Amino acid sequence: MDDPTEALHLAADDADLEGLRRALRRALSAGIPVDDDTMDCDRTPLGCLCYGASPHDEARRIACAELLLAAGANFEATDCYGDTPLSIAVYMPSKDCPRLVQYLLDAGANPNAIGDGDCGGYTPLHYASKKGFVEVANLLIKHGATVNAKTTCEGVGRKTSLQVAIRNSRHRMYPILLSAGASLPTVTGDDAYLERVVAAGSWANYERLHL
């Protein structure tokens, strides 16, 4: 491919380790930064790498991420939606990619980075709650995600991760978020489990009564 910028982004998107290694050398020698954001949606190569993630190729994507970070990639660089590679790795796959998310968190990615998706203010935990990605949510909470952080969109109401989970009927997320300190919801979506927790007055009380 003649364009070194395009080659760099495509190799990252495909998680082609050898192709990425060649494209990275070529790009850097041409003065193209490892965080070039001139392609689709202002994503850097690391953002492209996370955008194309799937549970079937996490090992390759982690190897490519290691290569990009070693070259100085910034895992807090945002795309045109304000989302970091970590947020992209959470919300883009059709199934959760816990190994890639774990790698980014261990490398120091911010679990509370605020993006602009869905009207604004979504953190990675909001995205995990919307998708119902239980394992990823647990990883984010373990690494310090703020459970009661609210979105910033006033038009539809500022929402916590639990409220996002309720809105999307992600039932498996409820005990994870509540046990991590989520505030009791005022709207339960007529969910019997949530109504029992609310009736108990707190998650701690519910645990004593039912667990």
pLDDT the model gives residue 115: 82
Q: How would residue 52 be classed by pLDDT, with cut points 50, 70 and 90? A: confident
Positive or negative, the Cα torsion across 102, 106, 109, 112?
positive
142 sits in which H/E element: helix 134-142
Classified as helix, coil or strand, 148 is coil
> What does the alpha-carbon distance between residue 171 and residue 42 come to, in Å, rounded to a whole number?
34
pLDDT tens digit sequence for 135-185: 999 999 999 999 999 988 765 578 999 999 999 999 999 999 999 999 999
Beta carbons within 8 Å of 26's beta carbon, 6+ residues apart:
4, 7, 8
Query: For the chain, what is the mean pLDDT?
Result: 92
Q: What are the structure tokens assigned to 50, written together?
A: 């996370």
What is the maximum alpha-carbon separation in the chain? 66
What is the phi/psi pair of residue 73, to 5°? -60, 145
pLDDT band with cut points at 50, 70 and 90 for residue 74 = very high
